[in-house]
Amino acid sequence: MTQATRSDQLASQPGAPGGGASRRDLLAAGGAGALGAFLAACGGGGDTPTGPAPQVGAQRPSDLEIVNFALTLEYLEADFYDKVLASGLVGGRALEVVRVVGEHEREHVQRLRGVAANLGEPVARPRTNFPLENERQILNLAATFENLGASAYIGQAPSIRDPELLSQATSIATVEARHAAEVNRLIGRSPTPNGSFERPLTMQQVLARARPYLS
């Protein structure tokens, strides 16, 4: 398949793991290796995780590995907002934000699943576990996920090979950043907590922070 053909396929997409590795293993694995440990540890609904697991020590993940990494984060976020809506613990402006952001995250899942299917095979949806206690706690957790998502996309951008995929990734990253700014405002934080330049995070850093919410 030529680069142009793959780009065309990416552009045509619509609406665009239980037990195993320990937290110590995840922190010890670097970059793409952390993704492999993460996918092996976090199955979804009894399904065996799909998609290739990167090799420990790999210098640069493949585009499919990056897409499946992003897809796992989007699964996490979409499931979080679905569970928040079902909890009935938020209201007013917070409920409006949760509804809109949740819809966006579900659309991100749909788009990334399509891209992963074109490149190979999408990773399975992980099981999640969120401590939903009250509106303030929920909004703090939402801010954690949205700021993490924006930093995750920025961190992987230099490794993306396909120009069309890079364009789609940066498109999602800007939306994640807008989500983060809105949620930050709701809880009285600066919409730009890191100042003029957002801080990129590696796969290892992102996965270590997301792991507590995956069961």
Q: Provide the residue-wise pLDDT of the chain in tens; the chain has 215 residues.
A: 444 444 444 333 433 333 333 333 333 333 333 344 444 433 333 333 334 433 334 578 999 999 999 999 999 999 999 999 999 999 999 999 999 999 999 999 999 999 999 999 999 999 999 999 999 999 999 999 999 999 999 999 999 999 999 999 999 999 999 999 999 999 999 998 888 888 999 999 999 999 999 97
C-alpha to C-alpha distance for 179 and 162, rounded to whole angstroms: 26
Chain-centroid distance of CA 47 in Å reads: 19
Q: Cβ distance 37 to 29 under 8 Å?
A: yes
Output the pLDDT for position 198.
84
Residue 135 in tokens = 């509106």
Output the pLDDT for position 42.
37
**Three-state SS string across 112-165, please?**
HHHHHHHHCCCCCCCCECCCCCCHHHHHHHHHHHHHHHHHHHHHHHHHCCCHHH
Output the pLDDT for position 48.
34
Whole-prediction pTM value? 0.74
Q: Cβ distance 171 to 165 under 8 Å?
A: no
Q: Which of 107, 38, 21 is nearest to 72 (CA)?
A: 38
C-alpha torsion 61→153→96→136, nearest 10: 90
Residue 77 in tokens = 């976020």
The beta-strand segments (E) located in 12-106 are none
- CATH T-level topology, domain 20-122+131-213: Ferritin (1.20.1260)
Output the pLDDT for position 193.
85
Output the pLDDT for position 58.
52
Residue 114 in tokens = 């399509």
Q: Cβ distance 70 to 113 under 8 Å?
A: no
C-alpha torsion 200→204→206→211, nearest 10: -170
C-alpha to C-alpha distance for 211 and 146, rounded to whole angstroms: 15
Q: Which of 206, 172, 214 is nearest to 31 (CA)?
A: 206
Output the pLDDT for position 106.
98
**For the chain, what are the domain ranges?**
20-122+131-213
C-alpha to C-alpha distance for 165 and 68, rounded to whole angstroms: 13
C-alpha to C-alpha distance for 50 and 120, rounded to whole angstroms: 10
